[in-house]
């Protein structure tokens, strides 16, 4: 039973469009949890690494209902580090007006308690450019355990793409959804230029794009100036 005092640590709540991945463009209500132990070099939400505000899950549900947005995105920080994440997902899934719950995670920390009827998991492992270890074993566990799951790879250069290719070919039997390639935003290059260069890099890899269904999707919200 869910206690009335069960809480989730949250950095911010906001309404925007889903700016990333296969569902880009969908109006969404965002719950950004606090805390992340991964430490990506060019993280664009470092403000979420520190502790935020404790929200009662029932109060979060009230905010979701007031927003009247049918899609909820749980992001971070790193949401899987939130101990009551599974409780929040189950509670959201019980709301009739909620069409979809998207959980965005780096995929570095596996959890087997997140299943819910409306949940989609987006795995976004960080490439070498981000300066962190690639979490192959944890990704394999996610892909094996949860059916409605896809991978969104951030890419800045050929080194990043090489790691992604190696993982994808080694685990081809686990890839059930399109692979999303997301140009990585870095502070030393204009994002439009990065997106163009990464797109050309991926398109030039004819073997990869023929062997797998690949979609190159830049961060839409950044291109149009939304949060």
pLDDT per residue as tens digits for the range 9-25: 999 999 999 999 999 99
SS3 55: strand
In this predicted structure, the answer to whether residue 95 has a pLDDT above a threshold of 50 is yes
Dihedral pair phi/psi, residue 63, rounded to 5° = -65, -40
**8 Å CB contact between 146 and 115:** yes
In this predicted structure, the answer to whether residue 4 has a pLDDT above a threshold of 70 is no
**H-assigned helices in the chain:** 57-67, 85-93, 136-145, 158-170, 191-203, 206-211, 220-224
Name the residue among 115, 33, 22 with its Cα closest to residue 80: 33
pLDDT of residue 175: 95
pLDDT of residue 118: 97
41: phi > 0 → left, psi -120 to 50 → alpha, else beta; which?
Answer: alpha
pLDDT per residue as tens digits for the range 128-187: 999 999 999 999 999 999 999 999 999 999 999 999 999 999 999 999 999 999 999 999
pTM above 0.85, yes or no: yes
In this predicted structure, the answer to whether residue 120 has a pLDDT above a threshold of 50 is yes
3-state helix, strand, coil split of the chain in percent (to 5) is: 35, 25, 40
The whole-number average pLDDT for the span 96-123 is 97
Give all domains of the chain, ordered by start, each with its CATH number. Answer: 7-224 (3.20.20.70)
In this predicted structure, the answer to whether residue 1 has a pLDDT above a threshold of 50 is no
Q: What percent of the chain has pLDDT over 70?
A: 98
Q: Evaluate the omega torsion of the peptide bond into residue 77 and state whether it is cis, within 30 degrees of 0.
A: yes
The whole-number average pLDDT for the span 202-225 is 96
Name the residue among 106, 145, 105 with its Cα closest to residue 127: 106
Mean pLDDT of the chain: 96
* Residue position matching structure tokens 């090489």: 162
SS3 159: helix
pLDDT per residue as tens digits for the range 52-84: 999 999 999 999 999 999 999 999 999 999 999
């Amino acid at each position: 039973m869910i206690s009335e005092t069960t809480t989730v640590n949250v950095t911010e709540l906001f309404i925007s469009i889903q700016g990333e991945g296969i569902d880009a463009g969908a109006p969404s209500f965002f719950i950004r949890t606090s805390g992340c132990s991964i430490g990506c070099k060019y993280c664009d939400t470092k403000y979420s690494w520190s502790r935020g505000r404790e929200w009662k899950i029932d109060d979060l549900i009230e905010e979701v209902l007031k927003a009247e947005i049918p899609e909820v995105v749980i992001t971070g920080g790193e949401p899987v580090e939130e101990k009551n994440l599974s409780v929040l997902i189950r509670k959201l899934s019980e709301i009739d007006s909620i069409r979809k719950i998207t959980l965005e995670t780096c995929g570095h920390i596996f959890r087997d308690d997140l299943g819910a009827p409306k949940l989609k998991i987006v795995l976004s492992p960080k490439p070498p450019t981000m300066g962190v270890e690639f979490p192959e074993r944890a990704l394999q566990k996610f892909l094996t355990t949860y059916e409605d799951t896809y991978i969104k790879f951030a890419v800045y250069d050929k080194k990043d793409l090489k790691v992604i290719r190696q993982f994808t070919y080694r685990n081809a039997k686990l890839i059930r959804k399109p692979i999303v390639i997301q140009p990585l935003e870095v502070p030393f290059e204009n994002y439009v230029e990065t997106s163009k260069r990464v797109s050309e890099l991926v398109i030039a890899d004819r073997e990869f794009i023929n062997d797998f269904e690949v979609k190159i999707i830049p961060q839409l919200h950044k291109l149009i100036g939304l949060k």
